Structure 1
């Protein structure tokens, strides 16, 4: 899976551009016009004019066709042909100059010019006109998918109110430095990640998390770029430059989503590369060989059949509807607060047979609180809590934060020296000249600290001072409200569930029992989690399934990276989650995991429906065209009609 987790900060095409490129690959022009919104009126105008001219020509075609006034037929129908087909003709010309002959535009051009040459002008106009109608629907469908993702792109703040001597200056967020102070007025978007130093307010976090409930903030709280200040004015001290802010990372994720192609997309692209030349040479054979080999065969009739085959065989329905289906899946997921980094990971999600969860911050709230302080060696509870708060003063772990919160007083950092974090065990530091250890039972055994308290029901932080056991602090965590629902939903889809945690066996037993997990492992170091995941991966490969790992993205980056599908609880912008994971759950809701897998199955089902529909209908009409039953009118349905049905089918994913 190394290729799946390559750095994602390169300048890959944006989502808009990637869709446009897929669209341009076989179509006349990009109705979405790059990053512009789809304009239905603008797109309808030339189609309406061409339709009026086409209907006029159709009404008088039979009357004028065999008269000296037949020139009037050309005067009406040729402008209709050029208006509706100009994009196809010019694109075919440009591609031919580059040596790219075998694409949709080339097939449409030679088929319609051939029809005009044998005096079947109405059919030629109909092919181009209905093709443009199909393009119109496709542009509308792409626009719908794009809008659901563009909602994320639109949360990019435009300016920041920088506090300078003598007042405020409006500047670009990219020019603001860490430590600068900015003012965010009510109703404004927060331009950069920062700490509130003055003011209280309610923040709309829906752009980042999808949650509609406002989040209260006060001095000391963190506010993230992209949130909207709803109430009072806030003064923030900037903690990250814009390029490293949570919103910038989310934007980078979304903009690069289209660069990860699914295997189905790659197959269809390769298929079209060989399929189109075969169709062209087959049509050429139909036009040339029967008149030479069959006595009395009409050259005009067989050329017409060849043109019918060309139009029927156009691969646009396949080449466009497949990536459009996946793009709709990515857009539909974004609407639900699930950011998928590309079609590749939708395919992988649909194959997941085992979901492995981290515990803290994933299945549980991660909002630890101190419930009991037990002392040894003559220390009081206040003294033990003070020691613990100081030794944990530089840690970002939720347990450390809960201990500092329980202590509730300012910490003199000058008294803490030699801070050392021992991965998977705890912390060692010098506090007022004394060596203090704080961590789990493994840390006590590692440092050979004698103690008689090994099994404690709950999350516990043991403390030792100068090599002697000094007591422990009991910390409680709660399950997330939808954790049990998440496990039930996965079981309903036939997916095995497991949990890997560094917490004690007793805590793991309780959580697993409450949730009904199939398997679980406790007291794991970070490297143990990777080894345990390897076992799940080995088991899954025997059944040709995939394994997803769900973590909070802070301590679980190695495991997220190793899984077939790494899913992170992105929440309010965990950097490691957004960078490492393949899928980010922006609401921190474990129930979204089952929803993401269900959406992936639905997307893949619609994609395969489109493939079967397109190939099946084309096969039938190719046979009918070869024996002379199908005309150019049926050919139009086989090409444009199938593409249109596939596009409408792909649009169902957004709903």
Structure 2
């Protein structure tokens, strides 16, 4: 049974337009809730309405993909290469026989699913975990033979490699024949035949793809354009030019695919945080297992230089770990027994025994990789615009080429037909929009990759683009602008109660809380709280706690709770967080707790103003005196205090609503992830500080800064600005070059040589320009 969402890996698909076509067609399927394409990762995500229809929808999706691009390889992204295998089946006789083969293969022990596509001959097998794949494959071949005698099942990877080798040999023969026809004196007829043979060797794949697409009704792709242009050149007796254009187009495609692969590798090398194995003790032996096989409670051994495979608590060993891949910080972090370590960190100088607190799938490294891998599926407005534009652009240019070819010579008597047809062919060659469609997602992918390396996880290119429109930033105070490491500064007694009474009873009230304020009170108490003595516990959201313990009713919280319980109390004037305490309805006193302002917060507002941020706001649950003090120290424009968690949402909505109508600038909220999920979700851009916030907060946030360094906000703005500049440069470059060649071509001043060089060259330049984002630097001064 499939989950509500599945991800397919589409290997061998390098055309952005084809991705868009596949996405559009799968969206039309019933029971499909949503579809998103990640061109850079070559993944297709399908979200379903009905789980029961999953297998049927997936099969329809396979058919659509194979119909549009029959040569690509489709794999389930969740499965490893050991859990699934693709074969090429030849000798198929009919669709019904394929259905019979599928049915019988699914009965084989160890086969989880089998799917055989008659049109492409591709057989996808999914194995059960730990199944013997060699035995299954042998049985699959035998079972298939009993149904279709002539069937042959070949390993798809070997077949693809063989096809690639044949392709390169064909290109080589084509180039050799082209040189013979070009440089050796031959009779015109023989020369023509050699040019045709050379053209077929070099461009046969393009011709076949164009014909298949035309049969399917898919016109206006690059194969169609190149086929029409080069065959047109043959008709005009421009044989050398026709072959050369096809040759340079093929070389350009190879270079383009190589450049894209290089950029993917460059970005992924920055994010090489996934551990390959885990060491676990089995008896007296240390055995390597997959991180997926580690269970909660298992003790794993991590040696110097190895990555910690799952989140856990150190049981033995002390030393330093390198968290650079997670946080972007180069300074090693000291670690001791009892402390938490995150997966993906590298042990530098010691051997650690770590008790797993999470499985690999739920560990930090998996969440980070998932965020990175799915980030580019959330497209920016620029990407969506270019995709829509490309669908219109190519047909318009083809229609314009038709007008150029026939209107001037036939209707206006302005020159020879052949002359105008040639100009139209130049128009066709330059009309492919790949440089535009390719370079923009690559630019955003590079920006997201650079940010991830610096410890800034951006969940989509739409959020990366939106960073350039932020003019208002709203901050949570505690744990975000302040350290969140609270310490009891003063204990004030009342009505005959002692300091020990107040600390003890308040500690019992806070026993079930993990909030830093509660922990500071428990720390001040200095003893373990026996929770068995707590008879009842009630948390009043945003106010405090009421417990019954030791035959007493304890009320501990803020002034709002004192008023709610009708307790007569003496208000504190201390500039700190105050926890009031009442015992059996009588005010016992209060505890004053202070929180230190972070060092990196002190110059933050000044730097944000330089970056173009017009308004900075603090939202705080603390009293006005504390919040105003922090705001004044840091130079904030507005401070709003005494807010309950739900009040923060209303306060943020008011800030958003106060923006002028027509103002497209964004409001960002920055919080530490504790009780911040609703506000993070409501903001135009929600930023969670650190990986230690709640899972709900990390899920709600649009950007996650993996450490607590506020200066990373400035880095995020710099990267967003640099990414925007690169994307704009790519768009201007592509439009300018294409416009110039189109104008020159229509005027007879550019040949097909210039057209193909311009088309391929622009794509390569755009890819190279996008890679600049990966370079370590300041990302552009603000």
* TM-score (norm: length of structure 1): 0.87
Structure 1 residue 491, shift from structure 2 partner: 0.2
Moved more, 304-313 or 541-550: 541-550
Distance 1:217 1:170, change over 3 A: same
Structure 1 residue 91, shift from structure 2 partner: 4.3
1:563 aligns with 683
Q: Please state whether the residue corresponding to 2:393 is helix, strand or coil.
A: helix
CA distance in 2, matches of 1:152, 1:448: 59
* Cα deviation digits, residues 529-568 of structure 1 (max 9, x gap): 1111112111235332110111112211100100011111
Is the contact between residue 192 and residue 242 of structure 1 (CA under 8 Å) also seen in structure 2?
Answer: yes
Is the contact between residue 500 and residue 522 of structure 1 (CA under 8 Å) also seen in structure 2?
Answer: yes
Moved more, 563-572 or 42-51: 42-51
Distance 1:9 1:584, change over 3 A: farther
CA distance in 2, matches of 1:592, 1:382: 43
1:408 aligns with 2:526: yes
Moved more, 59-68 or 250-259: 59-68
Residue from 384, 402, 413 that aligns with 2:502: 384
Q: Please state whether the residue corresponding to 2:599 is helix, strand or coil.
A: coil
Structure 1 residue 64, shift from structure 2 partner: 3.5
CA distance in 2, matches of 1:385, 1:278: 78
1:287 aligns with 2:432: no
Q: Please state whether the residue corresponding to 2:686 is helix, strand or coil.
A: strand
1:348 aligns with 466
Residue from 396, 421, 424 that aligns with 1:278: 396
1:512 aligns with 2:631: yes
Distance 1:300 1:208, change over 3 A: same
1:453 aligns with 571
* Cα deviation digits, residues 68-98 of structure 1 (max 9, x gap): 652585288437xx44x56644544454443
2:746 aligns with 626
1:497 aligns with 616
2:237 aligns with 119
Indicate the RMSD between aligned Cα atoms, in angstroms: 3.5
1:371 aligns with 2:489: yes
Is the contact between residue 18 and residue 259 of structure 1 (CA under 8 Å) also seen in structure 2?
Answer: no
1:339 aligns with 457
Structure 1 residue 164, shift from structure 2 partner: 6.0
Distance 1:155 1:602, change over 3 A: closer
2:772 aligns with 652
Q: Relative contact order: is structure 1 or structure 2 higher (C-alpha 8 Å, sep ≥ 6)?
A: 1
Structure 1 residue 383, shift from structure 2 partner: 3.7
Moved more, 137-146 or 495-504: 137-146
Structure 1 residue 65, shift from structure 2 partner: 7.1
Residue from 687, 704, 718 that aligns with 1:598: 718
Q: Please state whether the residue corresponding to 1:489 is helix, strand or coil.
A: helix
The structure with the largest helix share of the pair is: 1
1:197 aligns with 315
Structure 1 residue 153, shift from structure 2 partner: 5.7
1:158 aligns with 2:152: no
1:522 aligns with 2:641: yes
1:321 aligns with 439
CA distance in 1, matches of 2:513, 2:237: 81
1:588 aligns with 2:582: no
* Cα deviation digits, residues 316-337 of structure 1 (max 9, x gap): 1211111112212212222222
Is the contact between residue 495 and residue 588 of structure 2 (CA under 8 Å) also seen in structure 1?
Answer: yes
Is the contact between residue 278 and residue 300 of structure 2 (CA under 8 Å) also seen in structure 1?
Answer: yes
Moved more, 635-644 or 581-590: 635-644
Distance 1:57 1:401, change over 3 A: same
Residue from 441, 445, 448 that aligns with 2:559: 441
Q: Please state whether the residue corresponding to 1:302 is helix, strand or coil.
A: helix
1:78 aligns with 2:196: no
Structure 1 residue 440, shift from structure 2 partner: 2.0
Is the contact between residue 17 and residue 434 of structure 2 (CA under 8 Å) also seen in structure 1?
Answer: no
Is the contact between residue 477 and residue 619 of structure 2 (CA under 8 Å) also seen in structure 1?
Answer: yes
Structure 1 residue 102, shift from structure 2 partner: 1.4
1:213 aligns with 331
CA distance in 2, matches of 1:9, 1:559: 27
Structure 1 residue 604, shift from structure 2 partner: 2.1
Is the contact between residue 439 and residue 463 of structure 1 (CA under 8 Å) also seen in structure 2?
Answer: yes
Q: Please state whether the residue corresponding to 1:417 is helix, strand or coil.
A: strand
1:61 aligns with 2:182: yes
Residue from 759, 769, 772 that aligns with 1:639: 759
Residue from 666, 690, 696 that aligns with 1:576: 696
2:374 aligns with 256
1:300 aligns with 2:418: yes
1:360 aligns with 478
Moved more, 193-202 or 452-461: 193-202
CA distance in 2, matches of 1:530, 1:591: 25
Residue from 291, 297, 309 that aligns with 1:179: 297
1:39 aligns with none
Is the contact between residue 405 and residue 424 of structure 2 (CA under 8 Å) also seen in structure 1?
Answer: yes
Is the contact between residue 568 and residue 578 of structure 1 (CA under 8 Å) also seen in structure 2?
Answer: yes
Unaligned runs of 5+ in 2: 22-38, 44-76, 81-162, 776-782
Structure 1 residue 361, shift from structure 2 partner: 1.7
Structure 1 residue 519, shift from structure 2 partner: 1.2
* TM-score (norm: length of structure 2): 0.74
2:148 aligns with none
Is the contact between residue 161 and residue 183 of structure 1 (CA under 8 Å) also seen in structure 2?
Answer: yes
CA distance in 2, matches of 1:623, 1:337: 46
Structure 1 residue 150, shift from structure 2 partner: 2.4
Moved more, 219-228 or 175-184: 175-184
* Cα deviation digits, residues 120-176 of structure 1 (max 9, x gap): 343334434444554455445544543465257642333334456666665443344
1:544 aligns with 2:664: yes
Structure 1 residue 345, shift from structure 2 partner: 0.9
Moved more, 125-134 or 472-481: 125-134
Structure 1 residue 411, shift from structure 2 partner: 2.5
CA distance in 2, matches of 1:308, 1:622: 8
Structure 1 residue 188, shift from structure 2 partner: 2.9
CA distance in 1, matches of 2:288, 2:175: 56
Moved more, 466-475 or 339-348: 466-475
1:534 aligns with 653
Structure 1 residue 220, shift from structure 2 partner: 2.5
Is the contact between residue 16 and residue 434 of structure 2 (CA under 8 Å) also seen in structure 1?
Answer: no
CA distance in 2, matches of 1:490, 1:407: 41
Q: Please state whether the residue corresponding to 1:394 is helix, strand or coil.
A: coil
Residue from 82, 101, 104 that aligns with 2:222: 104
* Cα deviation digits, residues 331-356 of structure 1 (max 9, x gap): 22222221111111122211111111
Is the contact between residue 325 and residue 453 of structure 2 (CA under 8 Å) also seen in structure 1?
Answer: no
Residue from 539, 544, 548 that aligns with 1:426: 544
CA distance in 2, matches of 1:445, 1:292: 92
Distance 1:395 1:138, change over 3 A: farther
* Cα deviation digits, residues 474-527 of structure 1 (max 9, x gap): 222222222133322210122121111112212211211121111111111111
CA distance in 1, matches of 2:489, 2:14: 57
Moved more, 485-494 or 148-157: 148-157
